[in-house]
């Protein structure tokens, strides 16, 4: 009821919004009617005219009606024109419908246009893309795969070209210069991953403006926006490299955990058998009371099994009975009540460990700990850190000793936490992750199967050690932990755009998330022709087997009539089962698993032909239009069968939307069984009782609108749960995001700024000021200042040879000034021996090297922090708050280290050894003392070797520093004078070995 009211209100808000937009559509059409009188060149001249008006300050909104009319008119002129799209001949036949103009306005306004499948969203996007590209800034269209990016840019490209704009397309295998060309176009098509990775490479890795490929983030339209901003948003984009750290812990614990799991399996089998005996024997009891006791006891035992081994085969079999599920539910409810805490604990303690399937958690019991380590079960108990630290405080130890003890406690805590974490991950791997469902093993590798699309995701890894745990379980090589080199979440990538818009057939159910996370409003655009699809009620079966049989029966019946069928599955596994069953009936069919986008698009495009049967996981062929073949409308159009309800209603709507496009006939029906995961985990109790009310017997099917509703309630609950997980991930990433903004901003200033030296001197100033403040402590008398320490640092970092007398009888401020002046003069002396451009390149490198090295180290530490932080919950602390605080401290430390390193390296780098030696020769007072020698200085080594710089040291140093320095030094012709200033030709001097 409440929902119905809500819908009414929302619905009418949608109406109101649309009502405001219709007059614009009429206006566009009026203008377009006028344009029909123009010659081709006159229409084409509009582009230049609009660009000029925009450059003169006219807002894009003001140009919208004319720009949209121009695109529409261009489409009209192109009708009948032929070209090839992805290798297939194509003939243009589209002029935007009014609802498409409407959709275009919604997109221009930076919103999400919900437009059903087949409404022509590809064409809709061209309107706002053209308009926004007139600004001269690069606009992006984001697709779900490379094939669609290429298809759509070729398909729509002719409109842009006709109007004098350029279009580019990013593909996975392109090299940076090619990418740069694509971004240089007015409009660029590509996938979210390519756009995101290019951003990371540009901002986190490129070392010069010339190697950056993107031209900013002005406007993007995301096609299939729900798939990208919601489904894909669950895993961040990561560029990684092998890490220096390895984890052998999983291999070490695996045999023990395998034993433990075996023991638990045996235990659970016993328990479940006992429960079954109780149930079987209950009818022998004459007293009702005793019967009930037996049932209660059985319920408890089954619940215990569920705690210990949720996927126990016998248990799952018994749970097919709604009555049994009710027993378990009521046992659970009873045990979760406060009054039975002790009982629940006893139940758990009889097990070796407990598994929470919904939360994907595993927990060792005392019994399990003893099993793993009979001599020291405490090895698997998280120590109470808070109490331990309090106890330590109470001891009243001296500060130094206390600090030491504190570290010991912390270390023991960390070690133990890690061990427990590893064991828990192994338990999850053994008990919750099934081979060929959650993952497959191929070529000695564990490859994740995407739960949404059923496709394999090579290269992606579960985080937090889970992947290694599964690898250990399967006995394949446990891969080295990889280290993040650069990372961003999809959410934060898309937040970079000044204006973001999206389109999809299914956004409404996720409107709250779009609004909340991306500030995107959803507007539902009406279809061009009324939709006449007939959606049947779900049919519910007790078992999967019965369900599949019914599906095959329906396929056979409809196939006989010649009606085409599209069968959607939620996993590769299910699509293969159905395919095997269909083979027995010898009905020809196609199976698609979202692996080969182009091929699949071509197969799906034919799914509307007479008698075609297509089985597809829900992402396969998405974005491809299914047109009906001749005669098909007469047999009811395309019929869609859902073989399982998905976790998210959206995905089900998406599947239904594959048929009945543009007013075609079509129908859909979902099949559900109580063994489906969704039902098992989230809907069993409610459905069970409805089924009982409706009176369901063995082998029967049920169909009732109550069932639809409670299934949807279950879906809604899962959706909310998943949303909260994504939100949580994002809260964590927000911390990183701010840091990334600072670092990338800094990098870009250095790369793009014309005066890196100024930035360096700002840093030196900061560092010097901090050091002076450190040693010449405010509030202390000048006699107490640690001038020697200051001197040691200054003379180590800079070739300025200060003496104690220089510093005495001066204020802190004067000391600071003196050091800075001297450093500045020394630097000028150094600069005199360098070519200006070469020096700039060096200066940039000094900053980038320090920043990149320490930032990557920081990313590694942040990974570690993030992985370990959930353990803090054991110590009753909020992981997010802890994470934020520690991340902040770590970041501050990192930035201060970066600055320190930059200051220290300023005088230790040169474009060539000769320039460096020249500089040394001309600085009589510097760099000849015991603190520094040429070799070490040149290499930028932090702790220079003692003694004179032997030639091997120098050679080492060149090897050390050679590559990075050469990398960005401007190219010098072999016959040009050497930039080191030696006066010799480059090939005879520093370029000798180049």
Residues making contact with Mg ion (CB under 5 A): 121, 623
What is residue 662's three-state secondary structure? helix
Q: Based on CB atoms, which residue is closest to ligand ADP, 81 or 967?
A: 81
Ramachandran assignment for 140, one of left (phi > 0), alpha (psi -120 to 50 degrees), beta (any other): beta
Question: CA separation (Å) from 409 to 387, 422, 602?
Answer: 11, 20, 63
Distance CA 867, CA 496 (A): 27
| Nearest approach, Cβ of residue 118 and ligand ADP (Å) | 5
Q: Which of 300, 197, 251 is nearest to 429 (CA)?
A: 251
Q: Based on CB atoms, which residue is closest to ligand ADP, 159 or 278?
A: 159
- 581 neighbors 655 (Cβ within 8 angstroms): no
Query: CB under 6 A: which stretch of 91-99, 208-216, 475-483, 663-671 binds ligand ADP?
Result: 91-99
- Quick one: CA dihedral 694, 695, 698, 700, positive or negative? negative
Q: Which of 763, 743, 862 is nearest to 205 (CA)?
A: 743
Q: Based on CB atoms, which residue is closest to ligand ADP, 119 or 933?
A: 119
- Of these partners, Mg ion, ligand ADP, none, which one is at the site of residue 308 (CB under 5 to 8 Å by kind)? none
- Of these partners, ligand ADP, Mg ion, none, which one is at the site of residue 204 (CB under 5 to 8 Å by kind)? none
| Nearest approach, Cβ of residue 599 and ligand ADP (Å) | 18
Distance CA 325, CA 831 (A): 81
Distance CA 507, CA 222 (A): 12
95 is a contact residue toward ligand ADP (CB under 6 A): yes
Q: Which residues contact 959 (CB under 8 A, 6 or more apart)?
A: none
| Nearest approach, Cβ of residue 93 and ligand ADP (Å) | 6
Q: Which residues contact 507 (CB under 8 A, 6 or more apart)?
A: 112, 114, 225, 226, 514, 522, 650
- Of these partners, ligand ADP, Mg ion, none, which one is at the site of residue 981 (CB under 5 to 8 Å by kind)? none
531 is a contact residue toward ligand ADP (CB under 6 A): no
Q: Based on CB atoms, which residue is closest to ligand ADP, 81 or 959?
A: 81
What is residue 613's three-state secondary structure? strand
Q: Which of 441, 461, 437 is nearest to 449 (CA)?
A: 437
Q: Based on CB atoms, which residue is closest to ligand ADP, 118 or 168?
A: 118
Q: Based on CB atoms, which residue is closest to ligand ADP, 220 or 936?
A: 220
- Of these partners, ligand ADP, Mg ion, none, which one is at the site of residue 123 (CB under 5 to 8 Å by kind)? ligand ADP
Choose, by CB under 6 A, the member of 47, 70, 73, 122 that binds ligand ADP: 122
Distance CA 748, CA 363 (A): 47
- Tokens 């398909």 correspond to 155
Q: Of 145-204, which residues contact ligand ADP (CB under 6 A)?
A: none
The neighbour count for residue 39, using CB atoms within 10 Å, is 8
CA 277 to chain centroid, in Å, comes to: 49
684 is a contact residue toward ligand ADP (CB under 6 A): no
219-223, strands of its sheet edge to edge: 167-169, 187-191, 139-143, 219-223, 499-504, 112-114, 522-524
121 is a contact residue toward ligand ADP (CB under 6 A): yes
- Of these partners, Mg ion, ligand ADP, none, which one is at the site of residue 793 (CB under 5 to 8 Å by kind)? none
| Nearest approach, Cβ of residue 661 and ligand ADP (Å) | 7
Choose, by CB under 6 A, the member of 28, 69, 107, 123 that binds ligand ADP: 123
Cα angle 469, 475, 476 (rounded to 5 degrees) comes to 90
Distance CA 692, CA 540 (A): 13
96 is a contact residue toward ligand ADP (CB under 6 A): yes
Strand-pair category, 88-91 with 82-85: antiparallel
Q: Based on CB atoms, which residue is closest to Mg ion, 623 or 944?
A: 623
Distance CA 508, CA 517 (A): 15
120 is a contact residue toward ligand ADP (CB under 6 A): yes
117 is a contact residue toward ligand ADP (CB under 6 A): yes
Strand-pair category, 539-541 with 666-673: parallel
Ranked by CB distance to Mg ion, the top (closest) residue is 623
| Nearest approach, Cβ of residue 646 and ligand ADP (Å) | 19
Say which DSSP state 489 is in. Answer: -
**Which backbone phi and psi does 132 adopt, to 5 degrees?**
-75, -25
Q: Based on CB atoms, which residue is closest to ligand ADP, 72 or 421?
A: 72
518 is a contact residue toward ligand ADP (CB under 6 A): no
- Of these partners, Mg ion, ligand ADP, none, which one is at the site of residue 625 (CB under 5 to 8 Å by kind)? ligand ADP
> Which residues are 565's β-sheet partners?
613, 639
Burial of residue 392 (CB within 10 Å: 0-12, 13-18, 19+) is middle
Q: Based on CB atoms, which residue is closest to ligand ADP, 81 or 693?
A: 81
> Which residues are 671's β-sheet partners?
539
Distance CA 564, CA 113 (A): 30
Choose, by CB under 6 A, the member of 293, 332, 418, 625 that binds ligand ADP: 625
Choose, by CB under 6 A, the member of 31, 38, 60, 94 that binds ligand ADP: 94
Q: Based on CB atoms, which residue is closest to ligand ADP, 52 or 91?
A: 91
- Of these partners, ligand ADP, Mg ion, none, which one is at the site of residue 97 (CB under 5 to 8 Å by kind)? ligand ADP
Query: CB under 6 A: which stretch of 90-98, 194-202, 563-571, 882-890 binds ligand ADP?
Result: 90-98
Q: Based on CB atoms, which residue is closest to ligand ADP, 127 or 134?
A: 127
Query: CB under 6 A: which stretch of 18-26, 89-97, 196-204, 882-890 binds ligand ADP?
Result: 89-97
Question: CA separation (Å) from 804 to 167, 683, 768?
Answer: 66, 79, 17
Query: CB under 6 A: which stretch of 88-96, 163-171, 678-686, 721-729 binds ligand ADP?
Result: 88-96
| Nearest approach, Cβ of residue 24 and ligand ADP (Å) | 18
Q: Based on CB atoms, which residue is closest to ligand ADP, 657 or 940?
A: 657
| Nearest approach, Cβ of residue 96 and ligand ADP (Å) | 5
Distance CA 797, CA 799 (A): 7
| Nearest approach, Cβ of residue 609 and ligand ADP (Å) | 15
Q: Which of 105, 107, 129 is nearest to 28 (CA)?
A: 105
Say which DSSP state 436 is in. Answer: T
Q: Based on CB atoms, which residue is closest to ligand ADP, 522 or 539?
A: 522
Query: CB under 6 A: which stretch of 40-48, 87-95, 593-601, 609-617 binds ligand ADP?
Result: 87-95
Q: Based on CB atoms, which residue is closest to ligand ADP, 97 or 253?
A: 97
What is residue 57's three-state secondary structure? coil
Ranked by CB distance to ligand ADP, the top (closest) residue is 120
3-state helix, strand, coil in the chain (%, to 5): 60, 10, 30
- Tokens 């270390």 correspond to 411
Q: Based on CB atoms, which residue is closest to Mg ion, 223 or 852?
A: 223
Say which DSSP state 911 is in. Answer: S
| Nearest approach, Cβ of residue 28 and ligand ADP (Å) | 14
118 is a contact residue toward ligand ADP (CB under 6 A): yes
Based on DSSP, count helices (H) and strands (E) in the chain, helices before strands. Answer: 36, 23
- Of these partners, ligand ADP, Mg ion, none, which one is at the site of residue 414 (CB under 5 to 8 Å by kind)? none
Q: Based on CB atoms, which residue is closest to Mg ion, 156 or 915?
A: 156
621 is a contact residue toward ligand ADP (CB under 6 A): no
> What's the farthest any 2 CA atoms get from each other in the chain?
112
Q: How many residues belong to the chain?
A: 994
Q: Based on CB atoms, which residue is closest to ligand ADP, 307 or 503?
A: 503
Choose, by CB under 6 A, the member of 32, 66, 114, 119 that binds ligand ADP: 119
Binding mask 571-610 for ligand ADP (x = CB under 6 A): ----------------------------------------
Enumerate binding residues for ligand ADP (CB under 6 A).
Answer: 93-97, 100, 115, 117-123, 625
């Amino acid at each position: 009821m409440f929902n119905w009211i809500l819908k009414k209100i929302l619905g009418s808000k949608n109406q109101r919004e649309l009502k405001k937009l219709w007059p614009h559509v009429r206006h566009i059409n009026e203008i377009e009617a006028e344009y029909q009188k123009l010659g081709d060149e006159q229409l084409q001249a509009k582009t230049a005219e609009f660009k000029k008006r925009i450059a003169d300050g006219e807002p894009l909104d003001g140009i919208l009606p004319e720009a949209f009319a121009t695109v529409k008119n261009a489409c009209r002129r192109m009708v009948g024109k032929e070209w090839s799209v992805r290798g297939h001949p194509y003939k243009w036949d589209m002029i935007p419908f009014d609802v498409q103009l409407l959709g275009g306005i919604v997109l221009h306004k930076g919103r999400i246009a919900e437009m059903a499948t087949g409404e022509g969203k590809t064409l809709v996007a061209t309107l706002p893309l053209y308009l926004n590209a007139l600004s001269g800034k690069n606009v992006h269209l984001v697709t779900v795969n490379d094939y669609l990016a290429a298809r759509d840019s070729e398909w729509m490209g002719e409109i842009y070209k006709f109007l004098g704009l350029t279009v580019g397309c990013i593909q996975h295998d392109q090299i940076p210069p090619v990418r740069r060309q694509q971004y240089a176009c007015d409009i660029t098509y590509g996938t979210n991953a390519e756009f995101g990775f290019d951003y990371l490479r540009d901002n986190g890795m490129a070392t010069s403006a010339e190697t950056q490929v993107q031209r900013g983030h002005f406007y993007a339209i995301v096609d299939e926006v729900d798939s990208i901003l919601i489904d894909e948003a669950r895993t961040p984009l990561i560029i990684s490299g092998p890490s220096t750290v390895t984890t052998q812990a999983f291999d070490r614990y695996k045999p023990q955990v395998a034993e433990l799991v075996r023991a638990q399996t045996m235990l659970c089998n016993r328990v479940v058998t006992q429960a079954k005996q109780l149930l079987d024997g209950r009818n022998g009891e004459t007293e009702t009371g005793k019967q009930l006791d037996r049932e209660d006891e059985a319920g408890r035992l089954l619940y215990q099994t569920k705690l210990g081994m949720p996927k126990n085969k016998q248990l799952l079999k018994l749970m097919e009975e709604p009555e049994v599920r009710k027993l378990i539910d009521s046992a659970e409810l009873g045990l979760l009540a406060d009054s039975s805490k002790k009982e629940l604990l006893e139940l758990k303690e009889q097990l070796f460990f407990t598994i929470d399937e919904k939360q994907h958690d595993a927990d060792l019991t005392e019994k399990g700990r003893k099993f793993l380590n009979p001599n020291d079960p405490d090895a698997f108990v998280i120590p109470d850190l808070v109490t331990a630290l309090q106890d330590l405080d109470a001891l009243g130890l001296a500060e130094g000793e206390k600090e030491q003890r504190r570290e010991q406690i912390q270390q023991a805590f960390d070690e133990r936490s890690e061990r427990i974490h590893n064991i828990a991950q192994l338990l999850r791997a053994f008990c919750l992750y099934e081979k060929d469902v959650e993952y497959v093993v191929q070529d000695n590798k564990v490859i994740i199967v995407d739960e949404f699309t059923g496709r394999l995701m090579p290269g992606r890894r579960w985080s937090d050690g889970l992947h290694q745990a599964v690898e250990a379980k399967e006995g394949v090589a446990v891969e080295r932990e990889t280290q993040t080199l650069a990372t961003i979440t999809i959410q934060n990538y898309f937040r970079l755009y000044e204006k973001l818009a999206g389109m999809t057939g299914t956004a409404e159910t996720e409107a709250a998330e779009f609004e909340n996370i991306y500030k995107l409003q959803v507007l539902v655009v009406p279809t061009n022709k009324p939709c006449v699809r007939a959606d049947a009620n779900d049919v519910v079966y007790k078992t999967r087997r019965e369900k599949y049989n019914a599906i095959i029966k329906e396929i056979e019946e409809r196939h006989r009539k010649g009606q085409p069928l599209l069968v959607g599955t939620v996993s590769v596994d299910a699509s293969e089962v159905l395919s095997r069953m269909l083979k027995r009936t010898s009905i020809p069919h196609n199976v698609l698993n979202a692996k080969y986008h182009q091929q699949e698009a071509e197969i799906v495009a034919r799914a509307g032909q007479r008698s075609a049967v297509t089985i597809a996981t829900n992402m396969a062929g998405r974005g491809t239009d299914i047109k009906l073949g001749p005669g098909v409308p007469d047999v009811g159009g395309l019929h869609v069968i859902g073989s399982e309800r998905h976790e998210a209603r959206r995905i089900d709507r998406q599947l239904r939307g594959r048929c009945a496009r543009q007013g075609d006939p079509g129908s859909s029906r979902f099949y559900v069984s109580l063994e489906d995961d969704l039902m098992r985990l989230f809907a069993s109790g409610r459905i069970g009782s409805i089924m009982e009310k409706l009176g369901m017997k063995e082998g029967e099917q049920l169909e009732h609108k109550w069932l639809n509703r409670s299934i949807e309630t279950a879906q809604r609950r899962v959706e909310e749960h998943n949303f909260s997980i994504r939100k949580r991930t994002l809260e964590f990433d927000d911390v990183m995001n701010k840091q990334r903004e600072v670092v990338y901003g800094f990098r870009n200033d250095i790369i793009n700024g014309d005066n890196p030296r100024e930035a360096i001197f700002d840093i030196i100033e900061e560092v010097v000021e901090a050091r002076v403040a450190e040693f010449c402590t405010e509030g202390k008398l000048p006699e107490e200042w640690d001038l020697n320490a200051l001197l040691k640092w200054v003379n180590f970092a800079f070739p300025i040879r200060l003496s104690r007398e220089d510093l005495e009888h001066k204020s802190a401020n004067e000391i600071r000034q003196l050091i800075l002046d001297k450093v500045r003069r020394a630097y000028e002396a150094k600069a005199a021996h360098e070519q200006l451009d070469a020096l700039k390149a060096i200066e940039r490198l000094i900053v980038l090297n320090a920043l990149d090295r320490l930032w990557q180290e920081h990313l590694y530490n942040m990974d570690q922090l993030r992985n370990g932080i959930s353990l803090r919950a054991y110590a009753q602390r909020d992981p997010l708050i802890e994470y934020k605080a520690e991340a902040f401290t770590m970041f501050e430390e990192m930035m201060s280290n970066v600055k320190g390193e930059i200051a220290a390296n300023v005088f230790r780098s040169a474009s060539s050894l000769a320039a460096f030696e020249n500089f040394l020769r001309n600085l009589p007072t510097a760099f000849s003392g015991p603190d520094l020698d040429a070799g070490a200085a040149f290499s930028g080594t932090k702790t220079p070797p003692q003694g004179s710089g032997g030639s091997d040291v120098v050679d080492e140093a060149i090897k050390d520093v050679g590559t990075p320095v050469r990398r960005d030094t401007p190219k010098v012709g072999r016959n040009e004078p050497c930039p080191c200033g030696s006066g010799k030709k480059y090939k005879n001097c520093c370029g000798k070995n180049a």
